Structure 1
Amino acid sequence: MNSKLIAAALAATLCLSLTACGQTPASSGASASAGSSQAVESAASAKSGEPRTITDLGGHQVTVPAAADIRKIVILSPPVMSFVIGAVPDTEMIVGINARSFLTSNPQIVEKAFPNWQSVESSFVDVNFAVNTESLLALEPDIIFYYGDFQRKGIEGLAIPAVDFLMKGVNSPETMSVAWDGQIRELLSTDTSVGIQQEWDATNAKLDKLLAQVGDEKKTGLCIKLNQAGSLMVMGSDSFDGWAQSFFALGGIENAAASIEGTGEVSMEQIYQWDPDFIMCFQDAPASYILENSIEGQDWSLLSAWKNKQVFDVPRTTYAWVTPCADSPLFPLWLVSKAYPELVSDDEVRTEIREYYQRNYSLELTEGELDSILDYREATGI
């Protein structure tokens, strides 16, 4: 993978959304069954070599190859990568990918789950999702995975089946991740009797028991999306580029920034007024900078979260957990462990992650790899 491209992507990502980049914000209230109806017509035709007509998650009718004829995949949508590598028969089938897929992932875990990731072509798309058509066609993809009309603009008119992963009006991480997983498994004829829905069912059962022990006084949390050059962006109400509120709700936590529509810039004075019980950091300045109170122009020492050392980085595996990804069922349990440590210990979270990777990836994570998931930015300074 071109190192200059990755460097450019790292710089550009400071001001761009990693999920949709320019999509209309999603509203709430969509049915949890929204994704389940978007199914491939028949498994029989998937294996017969005959093309199939599907309705993708964006509501488009798309004619796609039989699963046996899908040998080369291009992925434009960064978080969708995490689902593909768990469902694809061989990651060598991924011939093109958006380099932004790796900007908030954990290279140690990506290397383990997607060993050929550094050799996959990425120069055909830049950090603004502008596609070089000639370079894309040279990859000879059988199918393209994208997210919404913004990403579709670069591939319209090409004689390549393109499948949309944007479900408009959905802000449930469970609904979205289950739909993405299901669409990929149907397209590739991967076993649909397993997958992320079973993991969500297990997580929800655990959460029911854990949160029954939480009283009326719920903890408040704040997710800082960006902290760069004195600008603080927080994740408020659910939107296309901020899922913190839905994840907080799953963990029995109130979003301190719920009054902010979507993702918005706030002042330190506003954060003082909210005084959240704990803070998690997504990009730019890591939690360690806040705990050291070393960011110029920002005094975090006045906050309860700082005084109680309740400032954390969002965990990273094949993608950052605050965006729907293939490891999303783990995130609410991690949140509970931070907001209500008396209910879930750090050791229990490590066990959950280890067993999850055994079940879903057939991978054995070392203690060092578990450390990298939970403390990656502290160790690297990223």
Structure 2
Amino acid sequence: MKNKIIASMLAAGLCLSLAACGQKTVNQTVSPESQQSAAESRQPVTSEPQQPSAPESKDKRTITDLGGNEVEIPAVPEIQRVVVISPPVMSFAVQTIPDTEMITGINSRAFTTSNVEIVNKVFPNWQSVDTSFIDASFAVNTESLLSLDPDIIFYYGNVQKQGLGNIDIPSVDFFSKGLNGPEAVSVAWDNQLREIFGLDTSGSLQEEWDRTNGKISQLLQNQNQEKTALCIFSNAAGSITVSGTDSFDAYAQSFFDMAGIQNAAADIEGTAEVSMEQIYQWNPDMIIVFHDAPAQKILDNSIEGQDWSLLKAWKDKAVYDVPRTTYSWITPCADSPVLPLWLVSKAYPDLISDSELKTEISEYYQRNYDITLTDDDINSILGYRKASGS
């Protein structure tokens, strides 16, 4: 499916600056009159006298979300309509939610750094989900949001919470000040969703991380060198931002550490703009690209005002776009446990071959989504930006 969403860039909370990708979405705007009419049409028709409203469910639960807030949420069977404000949370929601039809509203940014070929498989109704209730600055149209009649809302941090206003709908925060590393963040998100939807811990994301960590430990026993890498967080309008040490917006450091790679920008905290001269000094063995100008433009050396040809990574053609599925793997997403294996395959190809990596991805999707990926699917994951021209 070739449809894409056009979205502007923003670096608020975890919702990282995203590259604009054209994509058609189907949005619905519901007027108060239509909402009232729809609500009335859902009332049961009976010849018996109308009984008083039933008391609120005694099965409501109080949870402590990752932001430390105590939130009263509905009983599991009563959660039927979900709104997702935070783009990366979509990746986890579609894996844990009983039925993706329950997602009635979502931030369109959830699709701007995803791979629509894979989204089609795990979130088949994504095009019909309303995205019109929220704008690029995370400001929510309250009337549009209420028309979606959500039972619960997922957001990330105070900025997104403020955008919700004072609506009386259970809202769960996915931001925790104490969590920075991608493993800790992704596991916490997975666990929070499992608690909300009443799922047990079998098949949890922690099990996948344990599997990856064990595999990586075995692979790196045969490592006899340490390469350096640089993560280009964004590259637009002549401004290059790189990822340094872990923070709410930079996770490359942890991923590099897992894969036995040294982060060339380790002296930078979080993300920061740097000059080409600084990159020349680092001269990394490998460059990975999150979004904006794709790796191919660097390899073509076609970005105005930037000469990448002086770098070792350019000479070795070791410049790669980060793989994408339901989100970019370089940020916490449901498929992040596979990224360290991909990094090893690029930095140390003698330790894990491309065919072995493809097998790892295929088995991961079989275990976690009960989906059999085709060769074309896997190729789209590993080369989506090049194939799509995004």
Q: TM-score, normalised by structure 1?
A: 0.89
Query: Any conservation in 2 of the 1:313–1:377 contact (CA below 8 Å)?
Result: yes
Distance 2:97 2:154 in 1: 13
Which residue identity lines up with residue 93 of structure 1 in the other structure?
Answer: M
Matched, 1:372 2:380: yes
Distance 1:173 1:16 in 2: 18
| 1:17 Cα deviation from its structure 2 partner | 5.0
* RMSD between superposed Cα atoms in Å: 1.6
Matched, 1:189 2:194: no
Alignment of 1:120-131 (within 5 A): 120-131=129-140
Larger Rg over CA atoms: 2
Match of 2:179 among 170, 176, 200: 170
Which residue identity lines up with residue 324 of structure 2 in the other structure?
Answer: R
Match of 1:245 among 250, 253, 258: 253
Q: State, as a whole percentage, how many aligned pairs show the same letter.
A: 62
Match of 2:310 among 302, 307, 310: 302
User: 191-200 vs 310-319, which deviates more?
Assistant: 191-200
Which residue identity lines up with residue 269 of structure 1 in the other structure?
Answer: E
Query: Any conservation in 2 of the 1:18–1:100 contact (CA below 8 Å)?
Result: no
| 1:211 Cα deviation from its structure 2 partner | 1.6
| 1:214 Cα deviation from its structure 2 partner | 2.1
| 1:18 Cα deviation from its structure 2 partner | 7.4
The residue aligned with 1:40 is none
Distance 2:105 2:201 in 1: 25
Deviations 1:267-315 (A, max 9, x none): 1111010000100111111111111111111111111101111000000
Which residue identity lines up with residue 329 of structure 1 in the other structure?
Answer: P
Matched, 1:347 2:355: yes
Structure of higher RCO (CA pairs closer than 8 Å, 6+ residues apart)? 1
Match of 1:82 among 81, 91, 94: 91
Which residue identity lines up with residue 337 of structure 1 in the other structure?
Answer: S
The residue aligned with 1:33 is none
Query: Any conservation in 2 of the 1:133–1:154 contact (CA below 8 Å)?
Result: no
Query: Any conservation in 2 of the 1:243–1:323 contact (CA below 8 Å)?
Result: yes
Which residue identity lines up with residue 314 of structure 1 in the other structure?
Answer: V
After the TM superposition, which parts of structure 1 deviate over 4 Å for at least 4 consecutive aligned residues? none
Unaligned 5+ segments in structure 1 are 23-47
Unaligned 5+ segments in structure 2 are 18-56
Which residue identity lines up with residue 16 of structure 1 in the other structure?
Answer: A
The residue aligned with 2:36 is none
The residue aligned with 1:36 is none
Matched, 1:322 2:317: no
Query: Any conservation in 2 of the 1:18–1:78 contact (CA below 8 Å)?
Result: no
Distance 2:87 2:13 in 1: 7
Matched, 1:199 2:208: yes
Query: Any conservation in 1 of the 2:79–2:151 contact (CA below 8 Å)?
Result: yes
Other structure's SS at 1:279 match: strand
Which residue identity lines up with residue 249 of structure 2 in the other structure?
Answer: D
Matched, 1:110 2:119: yes
Deviations 1:35-91 (A, max 9, x none): xxxxxxxxxxxxx86100111111100000001100000000111111110111110
Other structure's SS at 1:302 match: coil
